[in-house]
Amino acid sequence: MTTSPANRLLNRREILRDDNSALPASKPAVDLGDLPEWDLTDLYAAPDAPDLAADLATLGKACTQFARDYEGRLAALEASKMLECIERYQEIDILAGRIMSYAGLRYYQNTTDAARAKFMGDLQDKITEDTTKLVFFSLEFNRIPDARYAEVFSAEAGPARYKPVFDRMRALRPYQLSDELERFLHDNSVVGAAAWNRLFDETTAGLTFDIDGEETGIEGTLNLLSDHDRSKREAGAKALAETFGKNIKLFARITNTLAKEKAIEDKWRKMPTPQTARHLSNHVEPEVVEALRNAVTAAYPRLSHRYYRLKAKWMGLDKLQVWDRNAPLPTEDQRLIAWPEAQATVLDAYAGFSPKLAELAQPFFDKGWIDAGVKAGKAPGAFAHPTVTTVHPYVLLNYLGKPRDVMTLAHELGHGVHQRLAAAQGELLASTPLTLAETASVFGEMLTFRALLAKTSDPVQRKALIAGKVEDMINTVVRQIAFYDFECKLHAARAQGELTPDDINALWMSVQGESLGDAFEFMPGYETFWTYIPHFIHSPFYVYAYAFGDGLVNALYAAYEDGLPDFQDKYFALLSAGGSQHHKELLAPFGLDASDPAFWDKGLSMIEKLIDELEAMEA
């Protein structure tokens, strides 16, 4: 069970969470200020930089020497030598990660640039070839007898601090293939899922949409879905449906192929379910995810169904159309928020919780760690990429000045701060399972929302602010669990045979009415809106992590509001732990336990209370 360092960027990407975000296409019509761009020189100065060439050469030699020194010998290593071995492996991981982070980030700045795509592809091929020599490491490590493993990892001079990493790796032992097959899968990765991922990205980035005779990209078109003008929202939704429909066969082919490839690998590994690999990588028990899923689906009537009936009433409509789902309220302030104000809003909210949080976020604005502008060919939505622990994270946005864009900034900066704090754990321990990776991002949004709410005395704007937060939480919890159910149904159906576009469309619609409720009508063409959501392609079953994170943060924030002693210190300790502890250990200081089904009801009750407040405003 290996992950190619050449594919690490895709595995670490964090794409913004809903179909209210997408790919860049057109610049905003107003001046939003000087939007920052990435300065990638902390990784490498240029594609032809001498140190990049030197690192590539070093990487090849390091992989060869590592295999010579350790292949066939891991079980015999004494504790101190095992520590040395692991630290050498970690240095190789950093070197490969640094190279691919640079190539990948350049590519995501403009996925339609053939030269950037070739540069990344060539490096991906080279690093995959070099790191094939390392495939033995996890395979051989998992064959170390339990008694010997316990002895080496409990010794004083040994690698005890790395034990959480290898415990997770050894949990994959039942699903490990032969060395030869694992090497084949590693080599084949560049022409398998990674190649289909690139096809998806480049296709989506190149889509165009006809809006009243004007050609627009997907970001500009999706942005219309939150426009105050209902006719513009309708035009945007219909243009999306038309273009998605024209490309449906290609998206169905990508989806079918990736689902089948996953099914084949799962069969060989004897994975009991399509979701098992994700649960293992997230270090979360299937029953915990099932408890989350069941709690959310049971709450649909109390959350989304109830809220959208309210929204239809506010908008004077008998039924909402799909283009009304993310529409602003008629009374909502229409002004766009310039970048300096967005920066100040988020940093002030962070500082209100702790000056340390704002200090950790400040360099993103000052040092070229954010790429915010909307540009042709730029990658989907928003993400925070940690690069490697010896450098720093980079944040990508497509900032258009909407209130939700400010929340996206707060979200991605939360990831960035989390990644900076966890970096002290070192490369192998810094990576946080997806279930906990959303903690700081969603908490950052909550801090920003609460800070804005505290400063809003006008009842009309207060209502709009609360409604916007409820919609974001529904998008994060209800929509993502509906996405998870869609994926579960899709992979189950694909196991029975090839899926036509109509088959996939029907699966998509089967979760839409259930999750959104009877306040909606669904226009012809909406059945194709599964096509561009990147999570289904890049990270199967990723989506439940958002709902997990929102429920977790709601419970954490309740503890914060209740005055839990030393909350800030405990919070920073949680983020600094990275992937070194299980969620049970990390949540214990807060008196929380995600394995308790009642835990999820606590988080969902916060959304219910906000809807209660909105209903009370109607009285």
Reference 555, options 611, 604, 614; nearest CA is 604
Reference 40, options 533, 320, 387, 316; nearest CA is 387
Would you state the structure tokens that stand for residue 314, as one six-digit string? 């506010």
Residue 112 C-beta-side C-alpha neighbours within 13 Å: 14
Would you state the structure tokens that stand for residue 594, as one six-digit string? 């995600």
Question: Would residue 531 count as lying in a domain?
Answer: no
- The C-alpha atoms of residue 404 and residue 400 are separated, in whole angstroms, by 9
Question: Would residue 480 count as lying in a domain?
Answer: no
- The C-alpha atoms of residue 508 and residue 611 are separated, in whole angstroms, by 27
Task: Answer yes or no: are the C-beta atoms of 236 and 254 closer than 8 Å.
Answer: no
- The C-alpha atoms of residue 464 and residue 446 are separated, in whole angstroms, by 16
Angle 600-422-158 (CA atoms, 0-180°, nearest 5)? Answer: 110
Reference 534, options 196, 38, 121, 77; nearest CA is 196
Task: Answer yes or no: are the C-beta atoms of 33 and 339 closer than 8 Å.
Answer: yes
Given the DSSP bridges, would you call strands 214-216 and 370-371 parallel, antiparallel or unpaired?
Answer: unpaired
* Amino acid present at 478: V
- The C-alpha atoms of residue 575 and residue 537 are separated, in whole angstroms, by 28
* Amino acid present at 421: L
Backbone angles phi, psi at 21, to 5 degrees: -130, 155
Backbone angles phi, psi at 370, to 5 degrees: -125, 135
CA 548 from centre of chain:
12
Successive 10-residue mean pLDDT values, the chain, 619 residues: 38 36 46 95 98 97 97 95 97 97 96 94 94 92 93 94 92 86 83 89 91 88 90 96 97 97 95 94 89 95 96 94 92 85 97 98 98 88 94 96 90 96 96 84 93 88 90 93 98 97 98 95 96 92 90 90 95 95 90 85 90 86
Question: Would residue 153 count as lying in a domain?
Answer: yes
Question: Would residue 514 count as lying in a domain?
Answer: no
Tell the residue number behind the tokens 């295999």, with chain if given. Answer: 67
Reference 480, options 404, 545, 434, 527; nearest CA is 545
- The C-alpha atoms of residue 277 and residue 291 are separated, in whole angstroms, by 18
Reference 219, options 48, 97, 379, 84; nearest CA is 379
Residue 23, domain CATH = 1.20.140.70
Reference 77, options 173, 156, 164, 151; nearest CA is 151
Burial of 32 (0-12, 13-18, 19+ CB in 10 A): buried
Range of the domain at 106: 5-196
Question: Would residue 488 count as lying in a domain?
Answer: no
Given the DSSP bridges, would you call strands 394-396 and 370-371 parallel, antiparallel or unpaired?
Answer: parallel
Task: Answer yes or no: are the C-beta atoms of 413 and 361 closer than 8 Å.
Answer: yes
- The C-alpha atoms of residue 247 and residue 242 are separated, in whole angstroms, by 9
Sequence-distant (6+) residues with CB within 8 A of 129 are: 187
Q: What is the pLDDT of residues 357-402, one digit of tens each?
A: 999 999 999 999 999 999 888 886 899 999 999 999 999 999 999 8
Given the DSSP bridges, would you call strands 383-385 and 370-371 parallel, antiparallel or unpaired?
Answer: unpaired
3-state secondary structure of 314: helix
- The C-alpha atoms of residue 211 and residue 224 are separated, in whole angstroms, by 10
Q: How large is the angle between the packed helices 478-494 and 248-269, nearest 10 degrees?
A: 70
Question: Would residue 510 count as lying in a domain?
Answer: no
| Radius of gyration, alpha carbons of the chain | 24
- The C-alpha atoms of residue 232 and residue 229 are separated, in whole angstroms, by 5
β-bridge partners, 395: 370, 384
Reference 470, options 550, 535, 549, 586; nearest CA is 550
- The C-alpha atoms of residue 555 and residue 597 are separated, in whole angstroms, by 13
Summary count for the chain: helices (H), strands (E): 29, 5
CA distances from 228 to 215, 315, 402 (A): 21, 11, 11
Reference 465, options 453, 475, 476, 454; nearest CA is 453
Tell the residue number behind the tokens 């500009």, with chain if given. Answer: 220
Domain count, the chain: 1
β-bridge partners, 73: none
Q: What is the pLDDT of residues 242-300, one digit of tens each?
A: 999 999 999 999 999 999 999 999 999 999 999 999 998 888 889 999 999 999 999 99
Q: Which long-range contacts link 36-39 to residues 24+ away (Cβ below 8 Å)?
A: 36/339, 36/365, 36/368, 36/370, 36/371, 36/372, 36/373, 37/368, 37/371, 37/372, 37/373, 38/105, 38/109, 38/368, 38/369, 38/370, 38/371, 38/394, 38/396, 39/367, 39/368, 39/369
* Amino acid present at 51: D
* Amino acid present at 525: G
Would you state the structure tokens that stand for residue 358, as one six-digit string? 């704002």
Question: Would residue 108 count as lying in a domain?
Answer: yes
Question: Would residue 395 count as lying in a domain?
Answer: no
